[in-house]
Protein backbone atom coordinates (compact mmCIF):
# COMPACT_ATOMS: atom_id res chain seq x y z
CA UNK A 1 0.00 0.00 0.00
CA UNK A 2 2.73 2.47 0.94
CA UNK A 3 4.66 1.76 -2.26
CA UNK A 4 1.56 2.36 -4.37
CA UNK A 5 0.50 5.49 -2.46
CA UNK A 6 3.95 7.03 -2.78
CA UNK A 7 4.45 6.10 -6.46
CA UNK A 8 2.99 9.37 -7.70
CA UNK A 9 0.93 12.39 -6.74
CA UNK A 10 -2.02 11.86 -4.43
CA UNK A 11 -5.04 13.90 -3.43
CA UNK A 12 -5.90 13.26 0.23
CA UNK A 13 -9.47 13.97 1.32
CA UNK A 14 -11.38 13.86 4.55
CA UNK A 15 -15.09 13.23 4.08
CA UNK A 16 -17.58 14.09 6.79
CA UNK A 17 -21.09 12.59 6.85
CA UNK A 18 -23.02 9.88 8.61
CA UNK A 19 -21.50 6.49 7.73
CA UNK A 20 -18.75 8.15 5.69
CA UNK A 21 -16.44 5.12 5.75
CA UNK A 22 -19.10 2.62 4.69
CA UNK A 23 -20.51 4.94 2.04
CA UNK A 24 -17.13 5.69 0.48
CA UNK A 25 -16.16 2.03 0.47
CA UNK A 26 -19.36 1.26 -1.46
CA UNK A 27 -18.57 4.00 -4.00
CA UNK A 28 -14.99 2.85 -4.58
CA UNK A 29 -15.77 -0.88 -4.84
CA UNK A 30 -13.95 -4.04 -3.86
CA UNK A 31 -10.16 -3.97 -3.48
CA UNK A 32 -9.81 -6.39 -6.40
CA UNK A 33 -11.11 -4.55 -9.47
CA UNK A 34 -12.19 -7.88 -10.98
CA UNK A 35 -14.65 -8.19 -8.08
CA UNK A 36 -15.70 -4.53 -7.97
CA UNK A 37 -19.24 -3.56 -8.95
CA UNK A 38 -19.85 -1.83 -12.26
CA UNK A 39 -19.50 1.95 -12.05
CA UNK A 40 -17.29 1.96 -8.95
CA UNK A 41 -13.97 3.81 -8.94
CA UNK A 42 -11.94 0.63 -8.84
CA UNK A 43 -13.91 -1.09 -11.60
CA UNK A 44 -13.40 1.95 -13.81
CA UNK A 45 -9.80 2.93 -13.00
CA UNK A 46 -7.87 0.24 -11.10
CA UNK A 47 -5.05 -1.64 -12.79
CA UNK A 48 -4.86 -4.52 -10.31
CA UNK A 49 -5.49 -5.43 -6.69
CA UNK A 50 -2.17 -3.81 -5.73
CA UNK A 51 -2.66 -0.74 -7.93
CA UNK A 52 -6.32 -0.20 -7.28
CA UNK A 53 -6.56 3.54 -7.97
CA UNK A 54 -7.78 4.62 -4.53
CA UNK A 55 -7.36 3.97 -0.83
CA UNK A 56 -10.08 4.38 1.77
CA UNK A 57 -9.91 3.71 5.47
CA UNK A 58 -11.67 0.60 6.73
CA UNK A 59 -12.96 2.07 10.01
CA UNK A 60 -13.67 5.40 11.66
CA UNK A 61 -10.65 4.93 13.92
CA UNK A 62 -8.32 4.26 10.98
CA UNK A 63 -9.82 7.20 9.09
CA UNK A 64 -8.79 9.56 11.89
CA UNK A 65 -5.32 7.99 12.17
CA UNK A 66 -4.70 8.01 8.40
CA UNK A 67 -6.06 11.54 7.97
CA UNK A 68 -3.43 12.80 10.39
CA UNK A 69 -0.72 11.70 7.94
CA UNK A 70 -1.82 14.64 5.78
CA UNK A 71 -3.87 16.91 8.03
CA UNK A 72 -2.05 16.98 11.35
CA UNK A 73 -3.72 20.20 12.53
CA UNK A 74 -7.29 19.24 11.65
CA UNK A 75 -9.93 18.44 14.23
CA UNK A 76 -10.75 14.92 13.07
CA UNK A 77 -12.64 13.55 16.03
Active site residues: 55
What is the gyration radius of the CA atoms in the chain, in angstroms? 13
Q: Contact at 8 Å (CB) between 29 and 36?
A: yes
Q: Which residues contact 75 (CB under 8 A, 6 or more apart)?
A: none
Amino acid sequence: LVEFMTSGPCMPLVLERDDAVATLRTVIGATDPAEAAAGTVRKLYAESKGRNAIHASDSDENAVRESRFFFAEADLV
